Amino acid sequence: MAHTCNIFAILLCALAVNGQTSAKTSGPRNLIFMISDGFGVASEALARSYTQQTTGYPSNWGSVLDSVLVGLTRTRSNDTLVTDSAAGATAFSCAQKSFNGGIGISADGRPCGTVLEAAKRKGYVTGLVTTARISHATPAAFAAHAADRNMEDLIAQQMLGIGIGLNSSANGRGSVDLMFGGGQCYFLPKNNKAGCRSDDVDLWQTAQSQGFTALNNRQQFDSLAFNAPLPVLALFAPSHMAYEIDRNPAEQPSLSEMTAKALSLLHSASANVPADHPGFMVMIEGARIDMAGHDNDPATHLHDILEYWKAINVVRNFISLNPSTLLVSTSDHETGGLTLGVEPEYAWYPSVLKPVQRSAEVICKELNRMTGRAQLDRHIARVVMPQYLGITDSSATEVSTVSEAIQSGFKACKRAVGHVISARARIGWTTSGHTGADVGLYAYGSGSEEIRGSMDNTQVGGFLASYLGVDLDSTTRELANLSTFQKDVEKKRQHKHEHR
Ligand SMILES: *[C@@H]1O[C@H](CO)[C@@H](O)[C@H](O)[C@H]1NC(C)=O
Ligand SMILES: *[C@@H]1O[C@H](CO)[C@@H](O)[C@H](O)[C@H]1NC(C)=O
Ligand SMILES: *[C@@H]1O[C@H](CO)[C@@H](O)[C@H](O)[C@H]1NC(C)=O
Ligand SMILES: [Zn+2]
């Protein structure tokens, strides 16, 4: 954290030299909107109790998020009480309810202007940061308009402004100035072996010809100066970035590291535009909290939450130096129906999660490569249980549950591994999908006192728009003729994207 503070201190000094100030009522204002995808209030309690117990903090200790709780967000979509991330993010980005699967479109299927697009049109510098593919539902809903979240060929294209028709930036490149995340494969043509598009479009090339600095590895990220010019497109994995529990720091930056660099770049870019610059708007997503919830994998869920807390700390440090900045953090929905305590006991055991070394996803990929029941059982009993999960007294039943689940497929294997840990920790799950429960709403900084109570997800979106002083309707009108369809999407749907 000291590292981060130094970076911002340098920026603050640079600003002071330029004679710029950040008054609350006039001048630039920044919005940092954070989405902890699939993070319910039980997820917060899980991470809090874990941290309190494993570090020996007092029993009334609260997290950085607990200290900025302002209310609850209601999550339903237009067509169901249990939203997906596409409709959930659209409620925030457009302040309108969509149907599940809809990206930046209203319930009647028409494109809706987003807070990010409207902010860009007003002169804000804009960014999207995620640990998922950048074309995945949540970031997509801020800068693309598609009838279905699986239309990622179309979405990636729109995120560079192609086919959008909005003339947002002076050089015609679309609405997003900074993109950090995973998902390079949707920017590469199908003949590229790292590509996953169904066409020959090379968006990596397009981005560079639009002026983007395009990066795809840790070394390039580290050498990117903290005041490097925008636009920047940095995609660190072909698909999603690694779970925090599995992440190799030599290969990929963490969410908090991406957050620190993004804030610094956005801040320096917005400070460099002429005097009346409005500031910046960024959406930062802890995306894989949700995916670990789908797998009912508690330690993986935990470590992505702890990393999200770190990112929140980075943001709070930024705000202490740049007070005309608002942080709003909430979730699109809860995932897994997580509960703490499984009958008959009145207890759950956080310390069970402590020795877990790998995600169920990585464990099951390894198990998938083995053949024969005997080899599997031996590997699970001798390696997976003691080394990866910290279980030194595994039962024959625990071993065979995992071993048998593999025959039913990858998803069953991941849940079986998650359930072995969860049963010992007395953690319960009701589903491998989402639930309709409310989620926490958190805010800090300039204007945070104006967001409070039980808010519909669309009201959160409306609040973001009013904080930025932008008009979503006029942006919506400009998008009227945009095509939101990608022809081959039904075909793709059958074999892709199990995480919704
Ligand atoms: C869903 O959208 C339709 C069409 O726009 C609208 O009439 C209806 O009230 C919406 N329902 C909800 C729950 O948002
Ligand atoms: C969009 O911007 C480009 C480049 O500045 C300009 O040539 C073009 O006419 C603009 N298009 C519209 C519809 O305003
Ligand atoms: C959309 O298309 C219609 C019919 O071609 C046209 O009249 C209208 O001006 C277009 N709207 C925009 C915003 O481009
Ligand atoms: Zn999900």
pLDDT in tens, 43-89: 999 999 999 999 999 999 999 999 999 999 999 999 999 999 999 99
Q: What pLDDT sits at residue 271? A: 82
Of ligand 3's atoms, which has the minimum distance to the CA of residue 165? 14
Structure tokens that stand for 391 in this block: 């279980």
Q: What atom of ligand 1 comes closest to residue 76's alpha carbon? A: 13
pLDDT reading at 31 higher than 50: yes
State pLDDT tens for residues 340-371: 999 999 999 999 999 999 999 999 999 999 98
State which residues have CB under 5 angstroms from ligand 4, the bound ion.
Answer: 290
Active site residue 422: no
Question: For ligand 2, atom 1, which residue shows the shortest CA distance?
Answer: 167
Nearest atom in ligand 3 to 478's CA: 13
pLDDT at residue 14 tops 70: no
The torsion region of residue 101 among left (phi > 0), alpha (psi -120 to 50) and beta comes to left
* Average pLDDT along the chain: 92
Confidence of residue 487 (pLDDT cuts 50, 70, 90): confident
CA of 102 to the centre of ligand 1 (A): 14
478 lines ligand 3 (CB under 6 A): yes
Q: Which ligand is nearest to the CA of 113?
A: 3
Give the strand pairing for 334-335 and 434-435. Answer: antiparallel
Ligand nearest to the CA of 83: 4
Q: Taking 70 as the threshold, does the pLDDT of residue 494 lie above it?
A: no
Condensed to tens digits (0 to 9), the pLDDT of residues 471-484 reads 999 999 999 989 89
Domains of the chain, start order: 29-338+433-485 (3.40.720.10), 340-428 (1.10.60.40)
User: Over the stretch 313-334, which tens digit does the pLDDT of each residue have?
Assistant: 999 999 999 999 999 999 999 9
How much distance in Å is there from the Cα of 213 to the middle of ligand 2? 22
To test the pocket of ligand 3, the residue of 145, 481, 482 to mutate (highest count of ligand atoms within 8 Å of its CB) is 481
pTM score, whole prediction: 0.92
Segment 369-379, tens digit of pLDDT: 998 999 999 99
Residues enclosing ligand 1, CB less than 6 A? 78, 97, 107-108
pLDDT of residue 277: 75
143 exposure class (CB count in 10 Å sphere: 0-12, 13-18, 19+): buried
| 172 Cα–ligand 4 center, Å | 33
pLDDT in tens, 404-456: 999 999 999 999 999 999 999 999 999 999 999 999 999 999 999 999 999 99
Tell me which of 120, 167, 175 to substitute to probe ligand 2's pocket, judged by most ligand atoms within 8 Å of the beta carbon.
167
Residue 169 has pLDDT above 60, yes or no: no
Closest listed ligand to the CA of 78: 1
User: Which residue has the CA at smallest separation from atom 12 of ligand 2?
Assistant: 167
Q: How far is CA 285 from CA 34, 235, 256, 328, in A?
A: 6, 14, 11, 12
Q: How far is the CA of 119 from the centre of ligand 4 (A)?
A: 27
Percent of the chain with pLDDT over 90: 86
End-to-end CA distance of the chain: 33
What local confidence, expressed as pLDDT, does residue 26 receive? Answer: 56
Least confident range from 22-26, 69-73, 250-254, 458-462: namely 22-26
> pLDDT confidence of 490, banded at 50, 70, 90?
low
Q: How confident is the model at residue 273 (pLDDT cuts 50, 70, 90)?
A: low
Determine whether the shortest distance from the Cβ of 219 to ligand 2 is under 6 A.
Answer: no
| Span of 224-228, 237-241, 256-260, 492-496 with lowest mean pLDDT | 492-496
Q: Closest Cα to atom 14, ligand 2: which residue? A: 167
> 300 or 164, which is more confident?
300
> In whole angstroms, what is the distance from residue 193 CA to residue 203 CA?
15
Tell whether ligand 2 has an atom less than 6 A from the beta carbon of residue 164.
no
Q: Which of 36, 77, 85, 270 is catalytic?
A: 85
| Atom 1 in ligand 3: residue holding the nearest Cα | 481
Give tens-digit pLDDT for 172-224: 689 999 999 999 999 999 999 999 999 999 999 999 999 999 999 999 999 99
Candidates 369, 289, 373; CA nearest to 336 is 289
> How large a percentage of the chain has pLDDT more than 70?
90
In this prediction, residue 61 carries a pLDDT of 98
Question: Is the pLDDT assigned to residue 10 strictly greater than 50?
Answer: no
Residue 268 CA to ligand 2 centre (angstroms): 26
The pLDDT, as a whole number, for residue 18 is 35
Task: Tell me, in angstroms, the distance from the centre of ligand 2 to residue 156's CA.
Answer: 21
At residue 164, the pLDDT reads 83
Residue pLDDT, tens place only, 63-76: 999 999 999 999 99
Alpha carbon nearest to ligand 3 atom 2, residue: 481
